[in-house]
């Protein structure tokens, strides 16, 4: 009997062809893993799971007694209940070191799109509203030589700082769990507390991972500290922001605008007020979504999966204590 693997929302399935013939892969896409009967049945014999954003909680683990590894096809892994996985001897892996530049391109891109009103003015042209020279009603704001505050200056945040400072002569403020000496040296980034960053930045870019400490790190108080002329950019996770507070800040004109790639509920609901603001750029969690980068991530996810199923230590093991 072949050993069973589950692929969940795993787009580039051709990478699964690299698995040895001893494995059988069952593919699931756009299903509810809590209630889908075929998925629940497959869990009974699954030794490995590879895919994107599958909530691996206690219920799933109880339904998968043979599970050895969950290979996340992403850098983030807040969907994995790591402590419970470790108790049960289940490895967790992710795909870091692949998407930093691609995501930085996207997040800096939506920052520019918001400041220069690119999406809004695109519709202005396509709707036939462009009748002559632009008036002050269509004017945007500059990006170059402004101050960018980055909350969470890890690898992606550093890549954004590089684009901002070296490409647009921006001043960089940052708030982080620890100092980023390389960014301070290479991009003249200045470390400061969160309040100072919020008060002095023309653009506030949130790039933290989602943890207990960072959940709702941006709330009513934080938005009130920002300049009325400032733009808020979120490329981290939706739950790092109190969305109702952001909506209020936009509605009350406490900030100039926003550029968002992530949301508390994804896909975003059609009736979410954020979709009604012309000064908010919204993209569908597409930070790493280029074919080249997604292919590299998928290859690494399969590599991690195979290592864990063949008695080797996966390259990107999140919970190494599981092997002790």
Contact assessment for residue 160 and residue 108, using Cβ atoms and an 8 Å cutoff = yes
Contact assessment for residue 235 and residue 261, using Cβ atoms and an 8 Å cutoff = yes
d(CA 223, CA 11): 37
d(CA 324, CA 306): 20
Number of Cβ atoms within 10 Å of the Cβ of 216: 14
Contact assessment for residue 301 and residue 71, using Cβ atoms and an 8 Å cutoff = yes
Contact assessment for residue 226 and residue 248, using Cβ atoms and an 8 Å cutoff = no
For strands 231-234 and 3-8, give the pairing. Answer: unpaired
Q: Which residues are catalytic?
A: 237, 266, 285
Which candidate, 17, 63, 4, places its Cα nearest to that of 36? 63
d(CA 203, CA 256): 10
Continuous H helices in the chain = 37-43, 58-63, 82-87, 100-115, 118-126, 155-162, 168, 181-187, 194-200, 220-225, 243-251, 291-309
Query: For the purposes of burial, counting CB atoms within 10 Å of the CB of 149, is it exposed (0-12), middle (13-18) or buried (19 or more)?
Result: buried
**250: helix, strand or coil:** helix
48: which 2 tokens?
A: 């490995």
Number of Cβ atoms within 10 Å of the Cβ of 10: 23
Q: Distances in Å between the alpha carbon of 13 and those of 17, 178, 278?
A: 8, 39, 38
């Amino acid at each position: 009997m072949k050993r069973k693997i589950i692929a969940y929302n795993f787009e580039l399935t051709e990478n699964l062809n690299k698995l040895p013939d001893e494995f059988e892969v069952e593919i699931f896409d756009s299903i509810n893993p809590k209630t889908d009967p075929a998925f629940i049945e497959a869990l009974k014999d699954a030794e490995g799971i590879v895919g994107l954003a599958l909530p691996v909680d206690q219920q799933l683990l109880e339904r998968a007694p043979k599970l050895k590894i969950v290979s996340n096809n992403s850098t983030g892994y807040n969907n994995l209940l790591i402590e419970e996985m470790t108790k049960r001897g289940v490895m967790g892996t992710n795909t870091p070191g692949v998407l930093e530049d691609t995501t930085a391109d996207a997040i800096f891109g939506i920052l520019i799109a918001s400041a220069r009103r690119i999406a809004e003015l695109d519709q202005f042209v396509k709707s036939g509203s462009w009748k002559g020279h632009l008036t002050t009603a269509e004017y945007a704001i500059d990006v170059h030589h402004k101050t960018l505050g980055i909350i969470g200056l890890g690898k992606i945040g550093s890549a954004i700082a590089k684009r901002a400072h070296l490409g647009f002569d921006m001043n960089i403020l940052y708030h982080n769990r620890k100092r980023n000496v390389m960014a301070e040296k290479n991009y003249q980034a200045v470390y400061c507390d969160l309040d100072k960053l919020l008060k002095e930045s023309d653009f506030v870019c949130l790039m933290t991972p989602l943890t207990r400490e960072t959940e709702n790190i941006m709330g009513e108080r934080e938005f009130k500290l920002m300049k009325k002329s400032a733009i808020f950019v979120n490329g981290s996770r939706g739950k790092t922001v109190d969305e109702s507070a952001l909506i209020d800040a936009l509605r009350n004109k406490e900030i100039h605008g926003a550029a968002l790639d992530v949301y508390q509920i994804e896909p975003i609901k059609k009736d979410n007020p954020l979709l009604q603001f012309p000064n908010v750029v919204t993209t569908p969690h597409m930070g790493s979504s280029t074919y080249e980068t997604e292919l590299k991530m998928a290859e690494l996810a399969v590599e991690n999966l195979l290592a864990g199923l063949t008695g080797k230590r996966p390259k990107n093991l999140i919970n190494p204590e599981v092997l002790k």
